[in-house]
Amino acid sequence: MVGHGTHTASTVAGAAVSGVSLYGLARGTARGGVPSARIAVYKVCWSFGCDEHDMLAAFDDAIADGVDVISASVGGVAGVDYNYDGIAIGSFHAMRAGILTLASAGNAGPDKGTAANVAPWLVSVAASTIDRRIVTQVEIGNHERFIGQSINTFSTQKDFLPFIFGRDAAISKNSTWPARKCFLGSLDPKLVKGKIVLCEKVTAGTAQMDAGAQGVVMIDVDQSNVPFAYPLPVTTVDWNTAGRLWEYVNKTRNPLAKIFKSEQVLDETAPNVATFSSRGPNLITPDILKPDVSAPGLAILAAWSPNGTIARGDTRSVKYNIISGTSMACPHVTGVAVYIKTFHPTWSPAAIASAIVTTATPMNATRNLDAELAYGAGQIDPLKAVHPGLVYNAGEADFVQMLCNQGYNTTAIRLMTGDQSSCSAKKGSVRDLNYPSMAAKVGPKDPFSVRFNRTVTNVGSARSTYRAVVRASSGIHVSVEPKVLSFHALNQKQEFVVTVSGAELPEGSVASASVVWSDGWHSVRSPIVVFT
């Protein structure tokens, strides 16, 4: 997509520009997370897709160029082994060079087990909603109005237009089913021209436009609640609204409708995980929680290439566009990582990642049923991330040991590292990786007890005392030993053990908990998730 890279790059480091919008939508000042940062851009995607060798070459170039942080708004396929995953391999070598990689979790939600970019040495980012919701109203001939979603910068004429169901505009008797969904070639231009068409599926809108339609009302079968742009006036509605529109069209002799320009309204429930955002669990290493965190990724306004278009089939050129995806969420977190790096230039990639994770704001699990498997530690908090108090550190040797604990042999390890790394005789658990979150997959309907060994490094006040505060959902018990950690110097390390136990969990369930280390000023929160 021409403009995708411009959009993501400007989200990280775009200069502040006032009074920008997309034809009046989301008007305000656009500014990247760290506008004083310098960017280096490496092209990895083409019209045919994104090849692994291009991504590896880009990582090699970025490492050689001495970048500080890498942002990869490229979501791969879930379940790809680390040794066959270009971003996993490239980010491992970046980590070795002291460079943190942040990557999109993917747009394959809301199904579980769809998260991509799940390697523990990178930060995987989910997409969340923001408090600006873009809606598009449709009014029918009896003056009933319905609220749908789209990014509609057009409007139909002031007067109503004829309103027709796609099925009733089929080009032949054999095409009534595809015409219901307004598939390409299924509509009769003679019956559609100058009208608004009701379609049973969300499509690109080009088929309806080519047939001469003046507007489209699409039914969002998947309830994705994502506003997209189209090359003509469009709004997408839910099933309840669709039923009322069907009834009106079928019972009215000359049905009419008109579609309004989009407007923005306040979404007081935000942030929530976007429906399209890929979910865990981590299919490669289930005991490593992915995604790590969530960030704004729905209807984001940012800079756009003038060579691109707002939507397929739309010939207009704009400097700013509104699009959605974990690709949009990723650069928000990249900006936070760069911001932390300016305060702590010597911190390791793992320390920066830890600061982002442990200062995130937990999200409402009642509105996000997959809980941490959807949003990780929660919504990023850039200001708190700069001063996390404690960090969970890890380096190359720790990640190699984790791979060994998972069962990778020496040959597989060396394919990843590119050196003579090997597994020691000492075997442990993947859960022993010093990760800022804690996850465990357990058997359904069986008692369980899992243990997490962790080490924190003091980066707050030299002399400080932290006390553990545990929160757990019903059905699980969490204990921490010791419950108090005292520090007498910066960079001092302290160890503790978390044990999570329970009688049983139903199949397919998720149980959430957390341990927070607090000194009265800092709150260092590690999410805990146990799932079956």
Q: What is the pLDDT of residue 155?
A: 74
Q: How far apart are CA 146 and CA 25, in angstroms?
A: 20
Write down the pLDDT at residue 102.
99
Strands (E), 280-356: 293-296, 300-303, 320-323
Query: What do you get for the CA distance between the two ends of the chain, in Å?
Result: 38
The secondary structure of residue 151, as a DSSP letter, is B
Dihedral over Cα of 261, 266, 269, 273: its sign:
positive
More confident residue, 16 or 505: 16
Q: Is 199 exposed, middle or buried (0-12, 13-18, 19+ CB in 10 A)?
A: buried
If pLDDT is split at 50, 70 and 90, which confidence band does 475 have?
confident
Residue 289 CA to residue 526 CA, distance in Å, equals 11
Fold of 1-128+271-366: Rossmann fold (3.40.50)
Answer whether residue 193 shows pLDDT above 70: yes
Name residue 326's amino acid.
T
More confident of the two residues 184 and 493: 493
> What φ, ψ does residue 27 adopt, rounded to 5°?
-65, 140
The two tokens of residue 522 are 């800092």
**Position 328 pLDDT exceeds 90:** yes
| CATH 3.60.10.10 corresponds to the domain 132-266 | no
Q: CB-based contacts of 249: which residues, under 8 Å, 6+ apart?
A: 163, 164, 165, 168, 198, 255
| pLDDT tens per residue, range 506-528 | 888 999 999 999 999 999 999 99
CA–CA separation, 528 vs 450, rounded Å? 11
pLDDT at 158: 75
Statement: residue 471 has pLDDT above 80 = yes
C-alpha to C-alpha distance for 323 and 344, rounded to whole angstroms: 33
The residue-averaged pLDDT of 425-448 equals: 92
Percent of the chain past pLDDT 90, that is, above it, reads 85
3-state DSSP of 176-189: HHHHHCCCCCCECH
**Does the pLDDT value for residue 1 go beyond 80?**
no
Options 2.40.50.100, 3.30.450.20, 2.60.40.2310, 3.40.50.800; CATH for 389-394+434-532 is 2.60.40.2310
Tokens of 163: 């309103």
Q: How far is CA 397 from CA 138, 141, 422, 434, 451, in A?
A: 59, 68, 10, 11, 21
Q: Which among 340, 458, 487 has a CA at the least distance from the CA of 390?
A: 458
pLDDT value at residue 14: 97
Cα separation, 263 vs 286, whole angstroms: 42
Residue 358's contacts (CB-CB under 8 Å, 6 or more residues apart) are 377, 388, 390, 391, 392, 436, 524, 525, 526
Residue with the larger pLDDT of the pair 49 and 26: 26
Task: Kindly state the tokens that stand for 32.
Answer: 């990247």
> Does 233 sit behind a cis peptide bond, omega within 30 degrees of 0 on the bond before it?
no
Q: Return the CA Rg of the chain.
A: 25
Helix, strand or coil for residue 61? helix
On whether the CB atoms of residues 379 and 128 are closer than 8 A, the answer is: yes
What confidence category does residue 222 fall into, taking pLDDT thresholds of 50, 70 and 90? Answer: confident
Phi and psi at residue 177, to the nearest 5°: -65, -55
How high does pLDDT run on average in the chain? 95
**Cα–Cα distance, 479 to 426 (Å, whole number):** 26
Q: What is the pLDDT of residues 344-396, one digit of tens each?
A: 999 999 999 999 999 999 998 888 879 999 999 999 999 999 999 999 999 99
Q: What is the pLDDT of residues 37-89, one digit of tens each?
A: 999 999 998 888 888 899 999 999 999 999 999 999 998 889 999 999 999 99
Contact assessment for residue 100 and residue 70, using Cβ atoms and an 8 Å cutoff = yes
Dist. CA 2–CA 25, nearest whole Å: 21
DSSP 234-247: EEEE-HHHHHHHHH
Q: What is the mean pLDDT of residues 268-273?
A: 94
For tokens 């200001």, what's the residue?
A: 383
pLDDT-derived band at 264, boundaries 50, 70, 90:
very high
pTM, rounded to two decimals: 0.94
- The reply to whether domains 1-128+271-366 and 389-394+434-532 share a CATH topology is no
Q: What is the pLDDT of residue 407?
A: 93
pLDDT at residue 157 in the model: 65
Do you find a cis peptide bond into 291, omega within 30 degrees of 0? yes
Domain map (residue ranges) of the chain:
1-128+271-366, 132-266, 389-394+434-532, 395-427
